[in-house]
Amino acid sequence: MRLFRLSAAAAAIAISATALSSLPAGAQNDSPIEQRQKLMKENGKSAKAAVQMIKGEAEYSPEKAKEVFTSMHEVAMKFGDYFPQDSKTGHKTEAAPAIWDKPEEFKAALAKFQEDTAAAMDSAPADRQAFQQVFGKVAQNCKSCHEDFRVEKD
**Residues at the site binding ligand HEC, with contacts judged by CB under 6 A:** 33, 36-37, 40-41, 43-44, 47, 72, 93-95, 109-110, 113, 139, 141-142, 145-146, 149-150
Residue 102 CB, nearest approach to ligand HEC (Å): 12
Nearer to ligand HEC (CB atom), residue 59 or residue 152 = 152
Tell me how many degrees the CA angle 136-151-101 measures, rounded to the nearest 5.
100
List Cα–Cα distances, 84 to 53, 62, 74, in angstroms.
37, 37, 20
Q: By C-beta, is 5 or 45 nearer to ligand HEC?
A: 45
Give the separation between CA 114 and CA 107, rounded to whole angstroms: 10
C-alpha distances out from residue 105 to 71, 98, 145, 149, Å: 23, 9, 10, 10
CB of 17 to ligand HEC, least distance (A): 17
Smallest gap from residue 88 Cβ to ligand HEC (A): 9
CB nearer ligand HEC, residue 107 or residue 128: 107
Q: Which is nearer to ligand HEC, 25 or 154 (CB)?
A: 154
Burial group, residue 55, by CB count within 10 angstroms (0-12, 13-18, 19+):
exposed
